[in-house]
Structure 1
Amino acid sequence: MTLYLPETNCLLQSEVSLAPFTSLRVGGTAQWYVAPKNSEQLQETLQWAQQEQLPITFLGAGSNLLISDRGLSGIVISARYFRNLDINEEAATITASAGMPLATVAWKAAKRGWSGLEWAVGIPGTVGGSVVMNAGAHGACMSETLTQVVVATDNGNLETLTPEALAFRYRTSNLQNHPRWVMEATFQLQPSYSPEKITTKTRANLNQRRHSQPYDKPSCGSVFRNPQEQAAGWLIEQTGLKGYQVGGAQVAHRHANFILNQGQATAQDIYNVIQHVQEKVEQQWSVFLRPEVKLLGEFSN
């Protein structure tokens, strides 16, 4: 079933499979799916969802999500068309739309000799999702270079927020718990470097991730947040869980904080591996591993 919203002719589709839109390649269908092409279509979509009293889920690259096999009720809004970049050469700032890959922004900065996003080149997500979860790597994170964020509220209104208003902490922000969705983010970079130096550092960070993390099978990146005591991957490895498998879901041999879709895995398979890892690590180390991946929909325990 398809539906066109009257003011902007925005196309809504029902019962769309979400698996192709996630890096794990699993998940059921969306009750409604839409990919607005501009802010007017987004605003009308949000107003329609509010009128119909439908829950709203925003979808970027789908790289940090595990969506239930049962799918999602309500409306799933894709940010795939929101990929604009505004680069201010004098101020050394980059403003990027929510759907822009974060790695693209990192390379744009590096090639100008602007420091501040060298760590982000290996992050597989979009700007919007990276802001929401305060993504980070190599000892740095989003909140360190962010100067402002434009968000949409559930009725389609736009608000400009400072980083202080987002209450950033390790791998989280208050955007995870409030009905607001990132539209664009502005980064302040440091321009007093040569392009060769920053490009070399950026490429080294990317190579390090490629050599230490598995990229040959679908995954969602790091599954668990690192507890203060020790890295999650180390705890999982020392518990002897590398290679542990349920159905088509397996704890990676190369990096134990990754769960791979070995082919034909279901979301429930992956969820079962997550629960098993949490149980065994807590039994051996008295540490409960909190998921970094966002779980959406209903799963069976």
Structure 2
Amino acid sequence: MTISQAVANVCKVSGMTNSRLITSNNSIESKEIYLLGTDCVIKSQVSLAAYTSYRVGGPAEWCVAPRNLEALQASIQFAKTHELPVTILGAGSNLLVSDCGIPGLVVVTRHLRHSHFDLETGQLTVAAGDPIPSLAWQIAERGWQGFEWAVGIPGTIGGAVVMNAGAHNSSIADILVSAQVLLPDGSLETLTREQLSYSYRTSILQGSDRIVTQATFQLQPGANPTEVLAATKQHKEHRLNTQPYHLPSCGSVFRNPKPHAAGWLIEQTGLKGYQIGKAQVALRHANFIVNCGGASASDIFNLIHHVQHQVQQRWSIPLEPEVKMLGEFQAA
């Protein structure tokens, strides 16, 4: 069983599937599989367009959206039993799914949520499926500082920990204490910030078969909630005023090739507004590619490659995608 972590998270395996829905040779027949001891249903051929912020993507061969750890554990055991590759999705906000879809089992973790505020230590422990924007507002309402910058990041905690999400010169690495991960043998391990080897928009978890289940952050309680809310609102307004959130996108498409900004390089190359099919380099911010309505994943993929080629020709600077691509793609 291989695991692809797009934005995500799980826990140790347990439980078994309903055996009457599995054939004697261990192959899968049913279009719906009920996992024993849970309220969880694995469905076949589920469109993933609704699960990505781009609103594109083909079907998952199998898809499940567990609402608790027990259901999640059973889902992972199901994949292990049937030797299915696993792809784990959170908010699907930093993701481009192929029009061909994704083979194996896609586990949608956005319904897995819990949080614990420790008043004595100022630490917050939160599940990997919790959405970042709503969490930022909850933290601000308590008068806790340190997470205001994250309010405009449209993802989940799991994905943010994996990719070291950041904004406004701050990042997850600045506040992370530890992350709990699931190992391939089913055991859980707690990794410190130092062990995650964070750097710009990356960690050792990227490309790894370890999966984030929860994370603990060090924040600063005791501030005036009104002031923290005002700072959070300011960060949110800045995002809305400078980035094209009125159209489906994945957020920033390319990593900034420091000391340059990817958006500036793209704009100076004359690509603002350039379009392939219904995919367009955003007019408001050139490091965004937006779905103008009816775009395919192939439109977006080909536009990404066109931008890379043009910037490389003009500046001799390679642009590395920040967006994670899942499934099969073929350049035009």
Q: Could you say whether these structures have the same fold, taking a TM-score greater than 0.5 normalized by the shorter chain as the test?
A: yes
**Aligned equivalent of 2:89, options 39, 59, 76:** 59
1:90-239 map, 5 Å: 90-239=120-269
Using the TM superposition, give the Cα deviation of residue 217 of structure 1 relative to its aligned residue in structure 2, in angstroms.
Answer: 0.8
Would the aligned equivalents of 1:134 and 1:172 in 2 still touch at CA under 8 Å?
Answer: yes
2:77 partner SS: helix
Determine the structure 1 residue equivalent to 2:283. 253
C-alpha distance in structure 2 between counterparts of 1:260 and 1:151, whole Å: 33
Would the aligned equivalents of 2:144 and 2:225 in 1 still touch at CA under 8 Å?
Answer: yes
Q: If the length of structure 1 is used for normalisation, what is the TM-score?
A: 0.97
Determine the structure 1 residue equivalent to 2:17. none
Determine the structure 2 residue equivalent to 1:294. 324
Q: Does 1:285 align with 2:322?
A: no
Using the TM superposition, give the Cα deviation of residue 51 of structure 1 relative to its aligned residue in structure 2, in angstroms.
Answer: 2.2
C-alpha distance in structure 1 between counterparts of 2:126 and 2:87, whole Å: 20
C-alpha distance in structure 1 between counterparts of 2:147 and 2:47, whole Å: 34
After the TM superposition, which segments of 4 or more aligned residues of structure 1 sit over 4 Å from their partners?
none
Number of matched residues?
A: 301
Unmatched runs of 5 consecutive residues or more in structure 2? 1-30
Would the aligned equivalents of 2:281 and 2:289 in 1 still touch at CA under 8 Å?
Answer: yes
1:26 partner SS: coil
C-alpha distance in structure 1 between counterparts of 2:199 and 2:233, whole Å: 27
2:66 partner SS: coil
Change over 3 Å in CA distance of 1:75–1:182 after alignment to 2: same
1:166 partner SS: coil
Deviations 1:103-131 (A, max 9, x none): 12212222222221111010000111111
Using the TM superposition, give the Cα deviation of residue 160 of structure 1 relative to its aligned residue in structure 2, in angstroms.
Answer: 1.8
Task: Report the identity percentage.
Answer: 55
Greater mean alpha carbon deviation, residues 2-11 or residues 121-130: 2-11
Using the TM superposition, give the Cα deviation of residue 262 of structure 1 relative to its aligned residue in structure 2, in angstroms.
Answer: 0.4
Alignment-mate amino acid for residue 20 of structure 1: A
Alignment-mate amino acid for residue 269 of structure 1: D
C-alpha distance in structure 2 between counterparts of 1:268 and 1:97, whole Å: 33
Would the aligned equivalents of 1:128 and 1:183 in 2 still touch at CA under 8 Å?
Answer: yes
C-alpha distance in structure 2 between counterparts of 1:9 and 1:62, whole Å: 23
1:220 partner SS: coil
**Aligned equivalent of 1:242, options 253, 272, 285:** 272
Q: If the length of structure 2 is used for normalisation, what is the TM-score?
A: 0.88
- Let me know the Cα RMSD of the aligned residues: 1.3
Using the TM superposition, give the Cα deviation of residue 55 of structure 1 relative to its aligned residue in structure 2, in angstroms.
Answer: 1.1
**Aligned equivalent of 1:40, options 70, 81, 89:** 70
C-alpha distance in structure 2 between counterparts of 1:70 and 1:155, whole Å: 31
Unmatched runs of 5 consecutive residues or more in structure 1? none
C-alpha distance in structure 2 between counterparts of 1:2 and 1:154, whole Å: 26
Alignment-mate amino acid for residue 61 of structure 2: Q
